[in-house]
Every structure is written in structure tokens, then in C-alpha cells.
């Protein structure tokens, strides 16, 4: 198991921090989530025009693309990855790479802070994920949709050997509970993913009852907007 995942189960991943009264993906939201008991901070990275990795979900601000802006032009509440890794030196970050401009600066920050054991990289785009893995080898990762789909269908057809082969490069799979009418987090599929050597995190779950159902089905962690509810339901 990658050291990134060596934390007591179940894992609680704070989706954009805990943003009840503050901006999501802000340092204040991260602090609130950690104070509530989050194990990991789930966040999103974009690359700016001047090559800075910043933490923000959307592609644009008021219709202006982030990759067309300098980091200094962004609102103060949007942190850089460098600031987050510096402010929270022992916290584990789960980073979704949102644009191709983010890959190089994210890798540079991981390398600068020697944060390979406290960062997991994921992306809907396999190319972005692979670029970081080449630049910052040893960082934990989970597959893109394109990379995960073949493993899912291999699992549905009971081909454990193929699931093992397809998921071998990864440390975790981070998935919705359902998609296309398929119960992706069924006990049977979760068991197959575990046999392939990966942990299973499910997103984005805010209902405590559903959180408990998924943990009982065998999943290892919950990505949630409500760290406070998840900690109350799963940790107490």
C-alpha cells in the first residue's frame, strides 16, 4: 500500500474543504475540514497563465478562463498549491487536475516539498495525470474515467485477472456510487477492486445514512462536502 493511504479506515476526504461559511477550496475551508476531523483534503488544481498551480474548481471566474489569468490577478481567497502544502505540512491532499496547464506546476510543488507520500493525483483526463506521474514519480494516483472504465467492465464480467492488470498502476479508485445505472460500489465489485490492490473511495456523499451503507458495502473512504456529518457518522 502506498504510504499516502496508510491512515485509519474509513477515510474521510473533505471535498473542497468544509465550506459552510467560507469559500470552497480556500485555506479557511481546508482548516475548517481539518478541525472537523477530515483525514484528507480533496481539492482541484488549475494552472495559470504564468505557470502557477492554484486550487479552484471551475475553469473560469466570471467567464474568464483561469489559464488566461496571472496568479496575481486571482481573488485572494484562491490559494496556490504551494501555499497549501506550506501551511499544512503534514496534511494529505487529493488533487484533481482540471487543466493541462496545471500538470507541470503541480509536479514542481510536489517535488519541492517532497510531498510524494502526501499527495494523490487524479484527473478526468488521463494525459494530465500521466504527465504529473512522469514529472513527480512515486506520487500516489487514481485512474481517470477512461482508465477506470475497462476495469469496471472487466469486473462486471467477472474477469479478476484483467481487473488486476488494469488497476496495477494505481493506488486507489475514486468513483461515484452509481453511473449509467450500474452500482459501481457494490460489495462484489469493491471486493474485486480490493483484490487488485487498490482502495475504494466514493464521491460525493453528503447523506450520513448513505455513507454508512457504503462503508458496510466495503468501501474504504467517503468524499464529502460535509466532513462534520461524516466524522459524526463514521468516526464516533
Q: What is the pTM of this model?
A: 0.96
| C-alpha closest to that of 104 among 79, 77, 133, 126 | 133
CA distance 50 to 136: 20
Quote the mean pLDDT of the chain: 96
Res. 235: pLDDT tops 90: no
For cell 492554484, what's the residue? 54
- Which pLDDT value is given to residue 46? 97
Delimit the CATH 3.20.20.190 region(s) of the chain: 9-141
CA distance 156 to 177: 15
Q: Is 15 among the catalytic positions?
A: yes
Q: What is the pLDDT of residues 75-109, one digit of tens each?
A: 999 999 999 999 999 999 999 999 999 999 999 99
pLDDT (average), residues 143-149: 96
Q: What is the pLDDT of residues 32-83, one digit of tens each?
A: 999 999 999 999 999 999 999 999 999 999 999 999 999 999 999 999 999 9
Res. 218: pLDDT tops 80: yes
Q: Which of 2, 11, 46, 57 is catalytic?
A: 57
- Which pLDDT value is given to residue 149? 96
Domain 9-141: give its CATH superfamily: Phosphatidylinositol (PI) phosphodiesterase (3.20.20.190)
Q: Which of 15, 46, 82, 201 is catalytic?
A: 15
> What secondary structure does DSSP assign to 135-203, as a single string?
HSTT-EE---HHHHHHHHHHHHTT-HHHHHHHHTT-SEEEEESEETTEETT-HHHHHHHHHTT-EEEEE
Q: Is 57 among the catalytic positions?
A: yes
- Which pLDDT value is given to residue 180? 84
Res. 236: pLDDT tops 90: no
Amino acid at each position: 500500500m502506498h504510504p499516502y493511504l496508510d491512515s485509519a479506515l474509513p477515510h474521510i476526504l473533505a471535498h473542497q474543504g468544509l465550506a459552510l461559511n467560507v469559500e470552497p477550496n480556500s485555506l479557511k475551508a481546508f482548516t475548517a475540514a481539518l478541525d472537523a476531523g477530515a483525514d484528507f483534503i480533496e481539492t482541484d488544481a488549475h494552472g495559470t497563465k504564468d505557470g502557477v498551480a492554484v486550487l479552484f474548481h471551475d475553469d473560469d471566474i466570471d467567464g474568464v478562463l483561469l489559464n488566461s489569468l496571472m496568479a496575481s490577478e486571482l481573488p485572494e481567497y484562491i490559494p496556490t498549491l504551494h501555499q497549501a502544502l506550506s501551511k499544512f505540512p503534514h496534511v494529505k491532499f487529493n488533487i484533481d487536475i482540471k487543466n493541462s496547464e496545471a500538470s507541470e506546476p503541480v509536479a514542481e510543488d510536489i517535488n519541492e516539498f517532497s510531498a510524494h507520500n502526501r499527495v494523490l493525483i487524479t484527473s478526468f483526463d488521463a494525459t494530465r495525470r500521466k504527465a504529473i506521474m512522469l514529472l513527480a514519480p512515486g506520487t500516489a494516483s487514481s485512474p481517470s474515467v477512461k482508465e477506470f472504465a475497462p476495469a469496471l467492465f472487466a469486473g462486471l464480467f467477472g474477469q479478476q485477472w484483467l481487473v488486476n492488470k488494469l488497476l496495477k498502476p494505481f493506488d486507489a479508485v475514486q468513483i461515484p456510487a452509481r453511473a449509467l445505472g450500474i452500482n459501481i460500489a457494490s460489495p462484489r465489485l469493491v471486493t474485486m477492486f480490493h483484490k487488485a490492490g487498490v482502495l475504494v473511495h466514493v464521491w460525493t456523499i453528503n447523506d450520513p445514512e448513505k455513507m454508512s451503507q457504503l462503508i458496510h458495502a466495503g468501501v474504504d473512504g467517503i468524499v464529502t462536502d460535509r466532513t462534520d456529518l461524516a466524522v459524526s457518522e463514521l468516526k464516533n
